[in-house]
Amino acid sequence: NAGVTQTPKFQVLKTGQSMTLQCAQDMNHEYMSWYRQDPGMGLRLIHYSVGAGITDQGEVPNGYNVSRSTTEDFPLRLLSAAPSQTSVYFCASSHGGVGEKLFFGSGTQLSVL
């Protein structure tokens, strides 16, 4: 049972480059979300989705795009990478029921030079 799978685990970008962080879950969860975690800080919500075709902005959406064409996948796109986007990115999913817990991936460590 894979759960939530994130790729790549590590990535180094140059300022201005674009890339896509991949997230896939095999639990048939309706809800998916992306968080970023900076040193010594908690997780901040970037974007989230309550189902295929539906996305919304979280606390820190600037510089990121998402789409949800299938239930399983929720990719995060960096349009033009900036050093301020250096962070660890976590994808999470949940069943969507009342009080349901989040399942997290193992994270992508991104460095923007």
Partner 1 sequence: DAKTTQPNSMESNEEEPVHLPCNHSTISGTDYIHWYRQLPSQGPEYVIHGLTSNVNNRMASLAIAEDRKSSTLILHRATLRDAAVYYCSTYNTNAGKSTFGDGTTLTVKP
Enumerate binding residues for partner 1 (CB under 8 A).
4, 30-33, 35, 40-45, 48, 50, 56, 58-59, 90, 92, 94, 96-107
- In the numeric block, which tokens belong to residue 74? 């929720």
CB of 33 to partner 1, least distance (A): 6
The rounded distance, in Å, linking the Cα atoms of 5 and 14 is: 25
Distance of CA 18 to CAs 42, 49, 59, Å?
A: 25, 22, 21
CB of 102 to partner 1, least distance (A): 6
Closer Cβ to partner 1, 2 or 40, answer by number: 40
CB of 104 to partner 1, least distance (A): 3
Closer Cβ to partner 1, 10 or 14, answer by number: 10
- Three-state secondary-structure class, residue 101: coil
- Three-state secondary-structure class, residue 97: coil
The rounded distance, in Å, linking the Cα atoms of 54 and 87 is: 25
Closer Cβ to partner 1, 70 or 106, answer by number: 106
